[in-house]
């Protein structure tokens, strides 16, 4: 669909309108085969389950609005016609969802139904609904949300209260008039659905866009850079980047779009914004770095195409930008090798090496003896992790603070208060780690502890030339400030919520962060590598020096990529692959000071 004004989609003319060549068509075929092998497409049965769940949810929303209407004094007839609708957005609406992915859903209600009703009455109705295994509301989030799971389908519910007496069946969310007199939270919630609709309208070939986006989503997840809340990019931002490349190459096949994606994103001149269309002015605040100082601080601005235009990447920090830039470079090199026939698509999707990359990590443990409380508490802590990373970026001795994209949930069955307190500090007694629910059944004083652990990798600057004596990494200020900030949550309860921040060396990382057998396999490769090193005493000096430097760092998973190595072995100064090596090659830290656990 071309714009009536300029004959093309986007804010600039296409780079090329040429058809893809035969080689690009061939790699597209192999890409789709690899995506199927990787399991990114859900089965027909799963699709039907999602449709049934959405139908049940739509019925529940109607009952919810009716119940609130009656409580507000509406007649039976008026309550029955008050309406209430759901609109999907995100990956499900884009048509790129996979097995187990959540469904982003907007709940639209008339003006007499409030956000308090949403987080009060609807939450309780969800808990009573058959097949619901989780309900967790986070009303304090930037975009307030209820996370739930119905019949095995995870759903994120957002709320929008429109200035209408009732919600008609044919309501079109693209109507800008609906935004009048809405608060900022409702506008942001509405934006999700409106943006997705605009993205689909602004790409030249929806099928090519969807296949390319599936590829990029899989890659970003495997490389652990898919998380808006933790300072990387979320689903809508990745979708807009892919859509922009589709606009620049409107007749390219999927393989060609993916190849161009990495080249363009690696070379993009941030903070130049990525736009799918010109920003529309209006009475509502729109992204404008000339007018708003906070907009000038956005490091990688990707601007939503629906009015009011917003920056979908305001969470990006210096550390996460550096990490993503390196991943763009890596992806560009691998895809170039694939096009040449020197590598397979599987090499692009290799798992990240986060838990083998650094010598030191921070572990943030949120815990509670109550599961419902824990779901809300851990969500609150996760929403603040970015603030911890931002504070760590100001520590002089740190080169990089690298947040992991998700938390790890665990349940421990404790027989005493001492055990439960140790668990809340992240110091898991071996007995508690092995104990089952049946082991504590009927025992007096037994406590079930729910924990969620978040991790930040610390890349430490090497010692300065000529420096002597021990060095101390003091991160007590950022960690204590983080702890204070999280405890300011209005629902924080010291009696049922615990928070601990502790530093941990790579060798002492808990087993639950690794896949089964992963740690042992890497250790075996490390041992084999050391034997080879010992048998290479006659090797030239330069390679031996490099091997000694690498051996001080945690060993990282070997690559299965068949891509050709770069011609030069000199590390690029900004290369992420060199960060852990340079951090560890000088016995970087003798002591680490951290705030006391909360």
Q: Which residues are catalytic?
A: 91, 102, 104, 156, 217, 226
Nearest to 550 by CA among 507, 502, 582, 598: 582
Q: Report how far apart, in Å, the C-alpha atoms of 40 and of each of 219, 343, 531 are.
A: 11, 21, 40
Nearest to 374 by CA among 415, 427, 410: 410
CA distance 371 to 356: 31
| CA triple 240-304-220, angle to 5 deg | 35
Helix axes 206-222, 254-267, angle to 10 degrees: 60
Fill in the DSSP letter of residue 233.
B
Instruction: Beginning with the edge strand found earlier in the chain, give each strand of the sheet holding 103-109 in spatial order.
Output: 85-89, 103-109, 153-161, 145-150, 132-138
Fill in the DSSP letter of residue 407.
-
**Pure H helices in 88-225:** 90-94, 115-117, 123-128, 184-202, 206-222
Omega into 267 within 30° of 0, i.e. cis? no
Nearest to 481 by CA among 555, 351, 391, 563: 391
Torsion sign over Cα 384, 385, 390, 391: positive
CA distance 387 to 258: 33
Cβ–Cβ < 8 Å for 219, 349: yes
CA distance 276 to 517: 44
Chain CA centroid to CA 382, Å: 11
Fill in the DSSP letter of residue 493.
-
Strand intervals (E) in 428-550? 447-460, 472-474, 498-505
Q: Report how far apart, in Å, the C-alpha atoms of 5 and of each of 12, 192, 277, 349, 361 are.
A: 12, 26, 12, 40, 53
Dihedral angle computed from the Cα positions of residues 183, 11, 314 and 215, in that order, rounded to the nearest 10 degrees: 110
Cβ–Cβ < 8 Å for 231, 277: no
H or E segment and range at residue 138:
strand 132-138
Percentages (nearest 5) of helix, strand, coil residues in the chain: 45, 15, 40
The phi and psi torsions of 260 (rounded to 5 degrees) equal -65, -30
CA distance 588 to 473: 9
Three-state SS letters, 302-369 = EECCCCCCCECCCCCCHHHHHHHHHHHHHHHHHHHHHHHCCCCHHHHHCCCCHHHHCCEEEEEEEEEC
């Amino acid at each position: 669909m071309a714009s009536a004004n300029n004959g093309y989609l986007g804010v600039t003319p296409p780079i090329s309108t040429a058809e893809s060549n035969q080689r690009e068509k061939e790699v597209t075929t192999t890409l789709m085969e690899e995506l199927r092998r990787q399991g990114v497409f859900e089965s027909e049965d799963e699709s039907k389950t999602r449709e049934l769940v959405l139908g049940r949810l739509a019925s529940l929303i109607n009952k919810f609005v009716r119940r609130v209407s009656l409580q507000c004094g509406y007649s039976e007839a008026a309550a029955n016609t008050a309406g209430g609708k759901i609109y999907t957005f995100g990956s499900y609406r884009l048509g790129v969802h996979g097995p187990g992915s959540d469904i982003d859903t907007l709940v639209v209600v008339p003006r007499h139904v409030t956000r308090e009703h949403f987080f009060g009455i609807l939450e309780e109705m969800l808990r009573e609904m058959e097949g619901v295994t989780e309900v967790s509301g986070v009303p304090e989030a930037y975009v307030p949300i209820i996370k739930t799971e119905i019949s095995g389908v995870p759903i994120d519910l957002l709320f929008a209260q429109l200035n209408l007496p009732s919600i008609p069946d044919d309501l079109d969310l693209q109507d800008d008039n609906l935004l009048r007199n809405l608060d900022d939270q409702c506008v942001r919630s509405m934006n999700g659905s409106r943006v997705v609709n605009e993205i689909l309208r602004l790409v030249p070939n929806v099928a090519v866009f969807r296949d390319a986006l599936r590829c990029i989503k899989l890659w970003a997840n495997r490389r652990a850079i898919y998380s808006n809340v933790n300072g990387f990019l979320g689903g809508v931002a990745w979708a807009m980047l892919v859509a922009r490349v589709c606009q620049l190459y409107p007749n390219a096949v999927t393989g060609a779009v993916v190849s161009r994606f990495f080249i363009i994103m690696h070379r993009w001149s941030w903070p130049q914004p990525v736009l799918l269309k010109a920003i529309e002015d209006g009475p509502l605040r729109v992204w404008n770095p000339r007018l708003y100082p906070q907009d000038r601080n956005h490091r990688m601005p990707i601007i939503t195409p629906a009015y009011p235009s917003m920056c979908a990447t305001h969470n990006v920090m210096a550390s996460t930008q550096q990490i993503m830039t390196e991943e763009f470079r890596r992806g560009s090199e691998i895809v170039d090798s694939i096009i040449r026939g020197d590598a397979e698509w599987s090499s692009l999707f290799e798992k990240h090496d986060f838990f083998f990359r650094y010598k030191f990590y921070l572990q943030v443990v949120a815990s509670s003896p109550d599961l419902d409380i824990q779901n809300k508490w851990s969500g609150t802590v996760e929403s603040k992790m970015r603030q911890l990373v931002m504070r760590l970026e100001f520590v002089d001795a740190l080169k990089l603070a690298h947040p992991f994209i998700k938390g790890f949930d665990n349940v421990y069955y404790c027989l005493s208060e001492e055990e439960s307190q140790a668990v809340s500090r992240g110091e898991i007694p071996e007995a508690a780690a092995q104990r089952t629910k049946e082991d504590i059944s009927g025992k007096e004083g037994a406590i079930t502890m729910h924990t969620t652990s978040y991790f930040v990798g610390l890349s430490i600057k090497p010692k300065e030339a000529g420096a002597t004596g021990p060095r101390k990494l003091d991160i007590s200020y950022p960690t204590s400030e983080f702890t204070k900030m999280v405890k300011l949550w209005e629902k924080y309860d010291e009696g049922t919520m615990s928070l601990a921040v502790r530093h941990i060396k790579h060798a002492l990382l808990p087993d639950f962060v690794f896949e089964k057998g992963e740690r042992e396999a890497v250790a075996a490769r490390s041992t084999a590598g050391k034997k080879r090193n010992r048998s290479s005493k006659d090797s030239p000096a330069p390679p031996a020096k490099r091997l000694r430097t690498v051996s001080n760092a945690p060993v990282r998973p070997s690559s299965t990529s068949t891509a050709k190595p770069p011609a030069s072995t000199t590390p690029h100064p900004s290369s992420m692959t060199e960060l852990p090596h340079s951090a560890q090659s000088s016995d970087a830290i003798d002591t680490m000071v951290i705030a006391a656990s909360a």
